[in-house]
A and B are shown apart, each in its own frame.
Chain A
Amino acid sequence: MLNSPAIAVDRLTVIRGKNTVIPDLTVSVPSGSVTGLLGPSGCGKTTLIRAIAGIQIIRSGTVTVLGGPAGTPAARARVGYVMQSDSVYPDLTVLQNLRYFAVLSGSDDAAMFQAIDDVGLSDKTDALVADLSGGQRTRVSLAAALLADPDVYLLDEPTVGLDPVLRRDLWQLFARLASQGKTLLVSSHVMDEAGRCDRVLLMREGRIIADATPDELRRDTGEDDLERAFLVLAEGKGAS
Chain B
Amino acid sequence: MTRTLATSRRVLQQLSHDPRSVAMIVVLPSLLLWMFKYVFDGSPAVFNRVGPQMLGIFPFIVMFLVTSVTMVRERTSGTLERLLTTPLRRGELILGYGLAFGTAALVQSLVTSTVAIWLLDMDVNTPWAIVLFAVTDAVLGTALGLLMSAFAVTEFQAVQFMPLVVIPQLLLCGLLVPRDSMPEVLRRLSDVLPLSYAADAFTELGSTSNFTSTLSKDLVILIGCCVLALAGASLTLRRRTP
Contacts and interface: CB of A to CB of B under 8 A. Distances in A.
A17 B242 contact: yes
A104 B87 contact: yes
Contact of B2 (A76, A92, A103): A103
Contact of B87 (A76, A88, A89, A99): A76
A77 B242 contact: no
Contact of A87 (B6, B10, B78): B78
Given A85-B78, A100-B10, A57 B242 contact: yes
A83 B239 CA distance: 15
A147 B106 CA distance: 34
A104 B85 contact: no
Interface residues of B, number: 25
A55 interface: yes
A53 interface: yes
A156 to B, nearest CB: 11
B84 interface: yes
B13 interface: yes
Contact of A55 (B6, B17, B240): B240
A81 B87 CA distance: 12
A104 B240 contact: no
Interface string B24-63: 0000000000000000000000000000000000000000
Interface of B: 2-3, 6-7, 9-10, 13-14, 17-18, 77-79, 81-88, 239-242
Interface of A: 16-17, 53-57, 71, 73, 76-77, 79, 81, 83, 85-92, 96, 99-101, 103-106, 128, 144, 148
